[in-house]
Amino acid sequence: MSIQLSLHHRFPDMELSIDCTLEGGLTAIFGPSGAGKTSVLRAVAGLLHPDQGRLRIGERLLLDTGTGISMATADRRIGYVFQEPRLFPHMTVAANLRYGEARAKGRALPLGFDPLVALLGLGELLNRRPATLSGGEGQRVALGRALLSAPDLLLMDEPLSALDTRRKAELLPYFERLRDQVGIPILYVSHDVSEVARLADTVILMDKGQMRAIGPAADVFAGGETGDQISRDVAGAILHVTVAGYDERDGLTEARIGQHPIWLPGRIGAMDDRLRLRLDARDVMLMREVPQGISALNVLPATVLGIAAGPGSGALVRLDHQGQTLVARVTKRSVRALDLKPGLALHAIVKSMSVTQERVGPA
Amino acid sequence: MTFGLSPAEWQVVALSLQVAIWATLASLPFGILAAMALARGRFWGREALNIAVHLPLVLPPVVTGYLLLVLFGSQGPLGRFFEATLGLTFAFRWTGAALACAIMAFPLMVRAIRLALDAVDPKLEEAAATLGASRLRIFATVTLPLMLPGILAGTVLGFAKALGEFGATITFVSNIPGQTQTIPTAIYSLLQVPGQENAALRLIVMSIALSAAALVASEWLARNMAKRVRGS
């Protein structure tokens, strides 16, 4: 189901402007706090009325300021998972989950009550009151509640930001299952790069109210042609690999891109599982020769695609490794010393230990 | 079980309760509406409404009673309107006493309900809207249940106030035994006559007992309701 979204709104301190067409899957709106990400979601849900805007989901036109159409929030069929669970405190978890059922009536749910309760692990919680739930449990209930209203589009506004690292790690797999098994388009707002890298199919980059870039997650985080789309802190590669084995003695998982092994620390996934992992551009080193006597386990042959010199001392080098894009952040001095230029074949070196657990998830 | 009260005194107590209960129940929907309008509404004249609602709190009760007499008396414009449309007469009837009590208790009731409404998180109502609930359903299933402790507190407070209303009542509907004589006006009458102190004392004790019971009930209800609403 294709989603057409265009919004323009003037706030006292910011001008919001976004224009895009989305084709399902999980689209992350990524950017620093104050970039206007939440305002986009609120306008999509009808909780904010933009100066100008148009929103079409499939065949349904929900908003068109040109012709004065602005559907009420309740009629939009848009699920919303907020930063905090916002469960109704006077109802049980089960009653919260069933609150949106009236709207779902007569339309096929992506997942019925029982399978959804199982998917989100809510079985034990059904008779509890929201006040007795942990933050992570509350957010899972909120997610289930939104899905059971049979939305055409699901909005998620930093649903993990109020949680500590451990709860975050607990919740991410549920989101991955949701993305892979439920098939509702999701618009997911976050300022956390590891979260976005693990979840997003498409990334919309926002800054100061403006849409800076849109594209497949791997492309956007690689910095695009000019490299200025992405800040140096978050530039990196998103690689899709397949689990090919596990080394018992050293506790390393062998993943492959094509025939080339990449060693990851710890046991991750099962044989033939597809994984996606994020390599921070600062964790990748470049060498012209095959290195000898080096502790890093991963030496990947690669070809330079492009070099984007930043305003400071650094440069972002995009490389091709068997059809997937690697990104290395190196100094301009190194660019000169190695005489880096597009087409040059060299080796990208990645320490296994730099690929921490939270940077690996199912593809 | 007469608590030493004579049938005439019981009649006074029963009429007082009748007046107070009707005053409270009949004004409750308006109290909720006024509280909603004052807490959430953005309309022209909101300040005027605020002042009108609170005026009986500060106006001398005798003035309020006089205004009621002018407006709702048998010759008053509103009095004639209600007589003609609903067959409802206020002047010198217990219904008039109930009206006077309702008006006097209204500001207290509205304030309590408004506080409760302010405590309802609008974010929950937003969430309900995204789940497809109409404004009416949001009010009935989210706002109202969460306001319930405050509504109960306001109701009991209004009831207690109505039970004790004197000035506006006696001005508007006078002090007719069996018709409009409530506990406070009866005590007043008894105290005017030498030798009736004992009868007055019995009603005073009854009055204290009813007021205290109302307060205890309100505390208990509020606590239990709040617990149920918070779900803990």
CA dist., res. B92 & res. B77, Å (int): 16
Judgement on whether residues A92 and A191 belong to the same structural domain of the protein: yes
Residue A246 domain flag: yes
* Predicted pLDDT of residue A314: 87
* Predicted pLDDT of residue A359: 85
Residue bearing the bigger pLDDT, A164 or A42? A42
Residues B104, B182: contact at Cβ < 8 Å?
no
Judgement on whether residues A106 and A47 belong to the same structural domain of the protein: yes
- Beta bridge partners, A236, equal A280
- Exposed, middle or buried: residue A102 (CB in 10 Å: 0-12, 13-18, 19+)? middle
Half-sphere exposure of A194 (CA within 13 A, CB side): 14
pLDDT surpasses 60 at A287: yes
Helix (H, G, I), strand (E, B) or coil at B83: helix
Residues A281, A328: contact at Cβ < 8 Å?
yes
Calculate mean pLDDT across residues A141-162: 93
pLDDT surpasses 60 at B232: no
- Residues A82/A83/A86/A92 CA torsion (nearest 10 deg): 100
Residue bearing the bigger pLDDT, A358 or A143? A143
- Residues B159/B138/A160/A210 CA torsion (nearest 10 deg): -120
A86 with B127: Cβ contact below 8 A: yes
Judgement on whether residues A184 and A85 belong to the same structural domain of the protein: yes
Give the pLDDT confidence of B147-189 residue by residue, as tens digits.
888 888 889 889 998 998 999 999 999 888 888 999 999 999 9
pLDDT surpasses 70 at B98: yes
Q: Which of B198, B157, B146, B203 is nearest to B16 (CA)?
A: B203
* Predicted pLDDT of residue B32: 92
Give the pLDDT confidence of A42-67 residue by residue, as tens digits.
999 999 999 999 999 999 999 999 99
* Predicted pLDDT of residue A330: 92
Question: Whose structure tokens read 């009866």?
Answer: B186
Nearest to A74 among B134, B141, B142 (CB): B134
Q: If you ran DSSP here, which 8-state letter would residue A291 be given?
A: P
* Predicted pLDDT of residue B23: 95
CA of B100, closest CA in chain A: separation in Å? Answer: 36
Residues A130, A90: contact at Cβ < 8 Å?
no
Residues in CB range of B213: below 8 A, 6 or more apart: none
Q: Which of B179, B212, B181, B186 is nearest to B201 (CA)?
A: B186
Give the pLDDT confidence of A229-277 residue by residue, as tens digits.
566 678 899 999 999 999 999 999 999 988 889 999 999 888 899 999 9
* Predicted pLDDT of residue A51: 95
pLDDT surpasses 80 at A227: no
Mean pLDDT across chain A: 90
Residues A252, A316: contact at Cβ < 8 Å?
no
Judgement on whether residues A53 and A147 belong to the same structural domain of the protein: yes
Question: Whose structure tokens read 């049979």?
Answer: A150
Give the pLDDT confidence of B72-83 residue by residue, as tens digits.
998 889 989 998
Nearest to B132 among A86, A88, A102 (CB): A102
Task: Give the angle A179-A183-A186 at the CA atoms, nearest 5°.
Answer: 60
User: Structural domain of residue A157, as residue ranges?
Assistant: 2-221
Judgement on whether residues A247 and A214 belong to the same structural domain of the protein: no
The answer for A 94-123 residues in CB contact with B (under 8 A) is: 99-100, 102-104
CA dist., res. A216 & res. A282, Å (int): 21
- What's the CATH superfamily of B7-230? MetI-like (1.10.3720.10)
Long-range contacts of residues A222-226, Cβ cutoff 8 Å, at least 24 apart = A222/A318, A222/A325, A222/A327, A223/A308, A223/A316, A223/A318, A223/A327, A225/A306, A225/A308, A226/A308
Judgement on whether residues A140 and A257 belong to the same structural domain of the protein: no
Residue A230 domain flag: no
Residue A172 domain flag: yes
* Predicted pLDDT of residue A156: 96
* Predicted pLDDT of residue A225: 61
- Exposed, middle or buried: residue A314 (CB in 10 Å: 0-12, 13-18, 19+)? buried
Q: Which of A223, A269, A271, A255 is nearest to A322 (CA)?
A: A255
Judgement on whether residues A204 and A329 belong to the same structural domain of the protein: no
Q: Determine what percent of chain B is predicted with pLDDT higher than 90.
A: 57
Calculate mean pLDDT across residues B126-136: 94
CA dist., res. B209 & res. A247, Å (int): 82
A90 and B CB contact within 8 Å:
yes
Q: If you ran DSSP here, which 8-state letter would residue B90 be given?
A: -
Judgement on whether residues A242 and A148 belong to the same structural domain of the protein: no
CA dist., res. A159 & res. B229, Å (int): 25
* Predicted pLDDT of residue A232: 66
* Predicted pLDDT of residue A309: 84
* Predicted pLDDT of residue B88: 87
Residues in CB range of A265: below 8 A, 6 or more apart: A251, A252, A253, A352, A353, A355, A356
Q: How confident is the model at residue B116 (pLDDT cuts 50, 70, 90)?
A: confident
Among A188, A221, A254, which residue terminates a domain? A221
- Given CA atoms A109, A112, A113, A119 in this order, what sign does their dihedral have? negative
Among A189, A221, A253, which residue terminates a domain? A221
The string over B139-160, giving b where at least 16 C-beta atoms fall within 10 Å of a residue's C-beta and e elsewhere, is bebbbebbbbbbbbbbbbbbbb
Give Cα A284 distance to the centre of its chain.
22
Domain count, chain A: 2
* Predicted pLDDT of residue A83: 93
Q: How confident is the model at residue B40 (pLDDT cuts 50, 70, 90)?
A: confident
Among A197, A221, A245, which residue terminates a domain? A221
Give the pLDDT confidence of A73-124 residue by residue, as tens digits.
999 999 999 999 999 999 999 999 999 888 877 777 778 899 999 988 999 9
Residues in B touching A46 (Cβ below 8 Å): 129
CA of B27, closest CA in chain A: separation in Å? Answer: 26
Residues in B touching A79 (Cβ below 8 Å): 130-131
pLDDT surpasses 70 at B208: yes
Mean pLDDT across chain B: 89
Residues in B touching A138 (Cβ below 8 Å): none
